[in-house]
Amino acid sequence: MLLQHRMDFWWFPHMWSHMQPHLFHNVSVLAEQMRLNKIFAQEHGIPTDMGYAVAPHHSGVYPVHSQLYEAWKSVWGIKVTSTEEYPHLRPARYRRGFIHNGIQVLPRQTCGLFTHTIFYNEYPGGSKELDKSIRGGNSPHVNFKLTCKIHCALSIQISIFMTHLSNYGNDRLGLYTFESLVKTLPPVKLAEKYFQIFPEERDPLWQNPCHDKRHKDIWSKEKTCDRLPKFLVIGPQKTGTTALHSFLSLHPAITSSFPSPTTFEEIQFFSGANYDNGIDWYMDFFPFPSNVSTDFMFEKSANYFDTEVASKRAAALLPRAKILAVLINPADRAYSWYQHQRAHQDPAAINNTFHLVVTAGPSAPKDLLALQRRCLNPGAYATHLERWLQHYQPSQLHIVDGALLRTNPALVMEGIQRFLGVTPIFNYTQALMYDDSKGFWCQRVEGGRAKCLGKSKGRKYPEMSPESRAFLAEYYREHNMELLRLLNRLGQPLPSWLRQELQSTSWS
Ligand code: A3P
């Protein structure tokens, strides 16, 4: 199959005179440019309903300039575009497609027809080279995939072509190229077909635009790669991540992301649907740092820890980030999550004891099993950490002892500061104070008063029953052993609770 082009398409880009969309920050101005072009097209009887457009020099397509996608959709109703920049120009065989903001982006490769290639016999390297290129070139992304991934089980060949206007004159090499291929499909149909064949490519993997020179060249001057975090607090939930977040924010050189109004203040970018919003959306949660080298921006999203895709996505955008994970006894974490759900009126938590929840068998009601999963799964710490370590170096990962964070936060915060390399070292013994009525460490504010976390953190509830504790000690025994092996391998100290847990379970 071949992406069907019409001649008018080439001398009819979506904007005036090859202007690059990433130079337009204001989406209305960009849309206005497109509107002018559309009016021109309509006045001259040029079709405007193809649903397909390309951007000059790939500008705005990848790295994504969200303004281009908005303007394309509103003015032209664009549904399909293509680029050779995702994920990078080379090697070409790794090029992939993705879908952003409803626009399907197809991978593209250069077939070698440029403005100056107009005569068959003068094709650089001889006409044989042209024929070779037509059949896929050096590194035919799509053909390669069909050959290697599907072992030719599918006889469909997808080639997406774009060429210069001059190739339609003289020897008409553009037409020659297209006619050498058999079947054509209009752009929108072709894109649908492509993502049917390669559904795994629908979700993009966002990268830092400043890590590739070509990407940087087509990245808006009004945007900066400095509005990205230097470190992440990844969770898991209920281990003291909010306390850690608030303590970190007291540090003069550390700045947290702005709170998200929709997801309990956390951005939750790498773990779910927010990722589809793209990096412009993500960066808007961070201020412009006043000093890039000394300012430490971070965000805390506690479900990153155990969300399958989060580590891969985080590493693609923030390969140099440092990662903080807070671990408490997974049995206590499970119980805290259960209490959290009770407080949020989850019927499965209200109508069942904790013991019933954690011991439920596979035939239990769905909502009970869903709650069980959320209680138990994050506590398989080693499994989740191993996934993060597939994408980050051990030196980038710091395990915070959540039990110690609770009892001696100043000590823990000192270790974290050394790990991050942040200066000056901030003295938390003065900034924090223990509050008897809360039963936790809080921020010391004016007048020697304590400012503690809200009611939802450090809840009062009965102790876990000995039966549940015994059940969970057994349930997590192997997971904790794995964690022990992992921390030993990494040369990281063992959290106090892990030592205790392993000692008590080895005697039982
Ligand atoms: P409980 O409310 O079950 O006691 P997270 O912020 O990751 O959701 O974790 C919440 C847990 O943090 C609380 O669980 C509490 O035990 C723990 N925690 C640790 N230090 C705290 C502090 N200084 N203030 C409040 N809660 C703290």
CATH label of the domain that carries residue 385 = 3.40.50.300
The lowest-confidence range among 17-21, 77-81, 406-410 is 17-21
Distance CA 410, CA 404 (A): 9
Whole-number pLDDT of residue 470: 97
Distance CA 371, CA 494 (A): 29
List the structure tokens of 506. Answer: 């080895």
**Closest Cα to atom 2 of ligand 1:** 458
Taken in order 496, 501, 506, 508, the sign of the CA dihedral is positive
Q: Are 327 and 381 in contact (CB under 8 A)?
A: yes
Q: Is residue 370 part of a domain?
A: no
Q: Comparing 160 with 441, which gets the higher pLDDT?
A: 441
Report whether pLDDT(341) > 70.
yes
502: phi then psi, degrees, rounded to nearest 5: -70, -35
Q: Is residue 239 part of a domain?
A: yes
**Closest Cα to atom 11 of ligand 1:** 240
Q: Would the CB of 242 count as within 6 Å of ligand 1?
A: yes
Question: Does 260 share its domain with 174?
Answer: no
Cα(243) to centroid of ligand 1, in Å?
Answer: 6
DSSP state of 221: T
Whole-number pLDDT of residue 350: 98
Whole-number pLDDT of residue 230: 98
Distance CA 170, CA 164 (A): 13
Q: Are 80 and 190 in contact (CB under 8 A)?
A: yes
Q: Would the CB of 229 count as within 6 Å of ligand 1?
A: no
User: What is the SS3 assignment for 103-149?
Assistant: EEEEECCCCCCCCCCCCHHHCCCCHHHHHHHHCCCCCCHHHHHHHHH
Distance CA 336, CA 342 (A): 10
Examine the fold and report which residue of 168, 201, 234 is the final residue of a domain before the chain moves on.
Answer: 201
Whole-number pLDDT of residue 359: 98
List the structure tokens of 232. Answer: 């992440």
Cα(496) to centroid of ligand 1, in Å?
Answer: 17
Question: Does 236 share its domain with 191?
Answer: no
16 band by pLDDT with thresholds 50, 70 and 90? low
Distance CA 174, CA 161 (A): 9
Question: Does 194 share its domain with 242?
Answer: no
Per-residue pLDDT reduced to its tens digit, 177-199: 777 665 667 889 888 988 998 99
Question: Does 252 share its domain with 120?
Answer: no
Question: Does 263 share its domain with 390?
Answer: yes
Question: Does 300 share its domain with 403?
Answer: yes
Please report, as a single letter, which amino acid is at residue 486. Answer: L
Strands across the sheet with 80-83, in order? Answer: 80-83, 103-107, 98-100
Q: For residue 104, what are the β-bridge partners?
A: 80, 99
User: What is the rounded average pLDDT of the residues 425-439?
Assistant: 97
Domain count, the chain: 2
The total number of residues shown for the chain amounts to: 508
Atom of ligand 1 at shortest range from CA of 339: 3
Whole-number pLDDT of residue 12: 38
Distance CA 141, CA 87 (A): 12
Distance CA 480, CA 380 (A): 8
The model's pTM: 0.88
Cα(502) to centroid of ligand 1, in Å?
Answer: 23
Q: Which pairs count as long-range contacts for 442-447, CB under 8 Å and 24+ apart, including other chains?
A: 443/246, 443/247, 443/250
**Closest Cα to atom 17 of ligand 1:** 240
Q: Is 309 exposed, middle or buried (0-12, 13-18, 19+ CB in 10 A)?
A: middle
Per-residue pLDDT reduced to its tens digit, 28-57: 999 998 898 889 889 988 888 889 888 888
Question: Does 191 share its domain with 315?
Answer: no
**Closest Cα to atom 14 of ligand 1:** 458
Distance CA 204, CA 98 (A): 5
Atom of ligand 1 at shortest range from CA of 235: 7
Atom of ligand 1 at shortest range from CA of 237: 7
Q: Would the CB of 457 count as within 6 Å of ligand 1?
A: yes
Q: Would the CB of 165 count as within 6 Å of ligand 1?
A: no
Whole-number pLDDT of residue 463: 98
Atom of ligand 1 at shortest range from CA of 326: 7
21: phi then psi, degrees, rounded to nearest 5: -60, -30
Q: Would the CB of 408 count as within 6 Å of ligand 1?
A: no
Catalytic residue among 238, 322, 438, 455: 238
Q: Is residue 282 part of a domain?
A: yes
Cα(244) to centroid of ligand 1, in Å?
Answer: 9
3-state secondary structure of 326: strand
Domain enclosing residue 186, as ranges: 2-201
445: phi then psi, degrees, rounded to nearest 5: -115, -175
Cα(301) to centroid of ligand 1, in Å?
Answer: 15
Cα(328) to centroid of ligand 1, in Å?
Answer: 11
Q: Would the CB of 458 count as within 6 Å of ligand 1?
A: yes
If phi > 0 it is left, if psi is from -120 to 50 it is alpha, else beta; for residue 484 that is alpha
List the structure tokens of 491. Answer: 């040369």
**Closest Cα to atom 16 of ligand 1:** 458
Q: Would the CB of 243 count as within 6 Å of ligand 1?
A: yes
Q: Is 238 a catalytic residue?
A: yes
Q: Is residue 358 part of a domain?
A: no
Q: Which residues are annotated as a binding site for 3'-phosphoadenylyl sulfate?
A: 336, 441, 457-461
Distance CA 84, CA 304 (A): 31
Q: Is residue 361 part of a domain?
A: no
List the structure tokens of 436. Answer: 């008897």
Q: Would the CB of 381 count as within 6 Å of ligand 1?
A: no
Q: Would the CB of 379 count as within 6 Å of ligand 1?
A: no
Cα(361) to centroid of ligand 1, in Å?
Answer: 29
Whole-number pLDDT of residue 157: 52
Q: Comparing 158 with 1, which gets the higher pLDDT?
A: 158
Q: Are 202 and 99 in contact (CB under 8 A)?
A: yes
Gyration radius of the chain over CA positions: 28
Q: Which residues are annotated as a binding site?
A: 336, 441, 457-461
Atom of ligand 1 at shortest range from CA of 240: 12
Q: Would the CB of 302 count as within 6 Å of ligand 1?
A: yes
Whole-number pLDDT of residue 3: 43
3-state secondary structure of 233: strand
Cα(216) to centroid of ligand 1, in Å?
Answer: 42
List the structure tokens of 359. Answer: 């011991």
Percent of the chain with pLDDT over 70: 87
238 closest CA partner among 331, 139, 337, 314: 337
Distance CA 392, CA 490 (A): 12
Per-residue pLDDT reduced to its tens digit, 132-173: 766 655 544 444 333 333 333 334 455 555 567 777 777 888
Per-residue pLDDT reduced to its tens digit, 371-414: 999 999 999 999 999 999 999 999 999 999 999 999 999 999 99
Question: Does 273 share its domain with 131?
Answer: no
Q: Are 328 and 259 in contact (CB under 8 A)?
A: no
User: Which of 238, 375, 443, 451 has most ligand 1 atoms within 8 Å of its beta carbon, as the pocket-test mutant?
Assistant: 238
Q: Is residue 52 part of a domain?
A: yes
The lowest-confidence range among 91-100, 198-207, 461-470 is 91-100
Question: Does 134 share its domain with 242?
Answer: no
Distance CA 189, CA 183 (A): 13
Q: Would the CB of 240 count as within 6 Å of ligand 1?
A: yes
Q: Is residue 258 part of a domain?
A: yes
User: What is the rounded average pLDDT of the residues 210-222?
Assistant: 94
Q: Is residue 485 part of a domain?
A: yes
Whole-number pLDDT of residue 94: 85
Distances (CA, A) of 311 to 226, 263, 295, 387: 21, 19, 23, 7
Q: Comparing 279 with 176, which gets the higher pLDDT?
A: 279
Cα(258) to centroid of ligand 1, in Å?
Answer: 21
Whole-number pLDDT of residue 118: 81
Distance CA 368, CA 382 (A): 25
Question: Does 144 share its domain with 262?
Answer: no
Residue burial 345-377, b: 16+ Cβ < 10 Å; e: rest: ebebbeebebbebbebeeebeeebbebbebbbe
User: ∠446-299-450 over CA atoms, to 5°?
Assistant: 20
Return the number of other C-beta atoms located less than 10 Å from residue 146's C-beta.
21
Report whether pLDDT(115) > 80.
no
Q: Would the CB of 238 count as within 6 Å of ligand 1?
A: yes
Q: For residue 409, what are the β-bridge partners?
A: none
**CA 125, chain centre distance (Å):** 42
Question: Does 127 share its domain with 244?
Answer: no
Question: Does 253 share its domain with 322?
Answer: yes
Please, what is the average pLDDT of the chain? 88
Atom of ligand 1 at shortest range from CA of 246: 23
